[in-house]
Amino acid sequence: MRLLVVEDDKDLARQLRGALADAGYAVDLAHDGEEGHFLGDTEPYDAVILDLGLPELDGITVLQRWRQDGRNMPVLILTARDRWSDKVSGIDAGADDYLSKPFHMEEMLARVRALLRRAAGHASNELQCGPLRLDIAAAKVSLDGLAISLTALEFRLLSYLMHHQGKVISRTELVEHLYEQDFDKDSNTIEVFIGRLRRKTQADLIETVRGLGYRLAAPDTIATDDN
């Protein structure tokens, strides 16, 4: 999962990026509204954390432009304390949730998790695919009840597949949602990571759909699809 943080307070932006990166997300930062709007307009983020008071272009305008242009990624706005009117205008402009400053990083993380799983159509923090379980809040994966250890990128990849299980995901889509903006993106590395995940999970859970990409599905689900 890849996120955008638009926040002009550089200390806060760094803290947000640190907390989100520790939780397993790829994170891009923008420090003003113009840059934030551009990134959100051109890159496929899974969710955005958007401060409202920004230089160049204010957060409400950024959000309104995205929504007018059909950008429908989940957006969590950061509002100044006690500014109830900011919350109202933010939600009216198309925000999905808000956090008042100052806030605890744990609350921010919980709200981001909720936005991501709701966007993918899941109600629970525990995703399951056959014997594979992902505990989103704890960022832990288990197979048949036994914890498996994954690198940060393997976790990010598996988490993306589990959020979108049953769907065919192209390599390009995976690259776009796993790596940060400045990363030297090479879609061939995805194959390597898929191979490692297959060894660590159960080989038949991640199916290669020739010419299209990959699909994570419990074996009986795939059988039903074919009938």
Q: Which residues bind Ca ion (CB under 5 A)?
A: 8, 51, 53
- 58 versus 176: smaller Cβ distance to Ca ion: 58
Residues listed for the chain: 227
CA distances 201 to 20, 28, 120, 165, Å, are 25, 29, 22, 15
- 84 versus 123: smaller Cβ distance to Ca ion: 84
CA distances 164 to 79, 132, 157, Å, are 31, 14, 11
Residues facing 142 on adjacent strands: 133, 147
- 63 versus 134: smaller Cβ distance to Ca ion: 63
Q: What is the DSSP string of 12-70?
A: HHHHHHHHHHHTT-EEEEESSHHHHHHHHHHS--SEEEEESS-SSS-HHHHHHHHHHTT
- Minimum CB separation from Ca ion for residue 128, in Å? 40
- Minimum CB separation from Ca ion for residue 54, in Å? 6
- 8 versus 180: smaller Cβ distance to Ca ion: 8
DSSP symbol at 179: S
- 28 versus 51: smaller Cβ distance to Ca ion: 51
- Minimum CB separation from Ca ion for residue 12, in Å? 8
Residue with tokens 């954390």: 49
> Nearest residue by C-beta to Ca ion?
53
- Minimum CB separation from Ca ion for residue 59, in Å? 8
Cis peptide before 55 (omega within 30 of 0): no
- Minimum CB separation from Ca ion for residue 8, in Å? 5
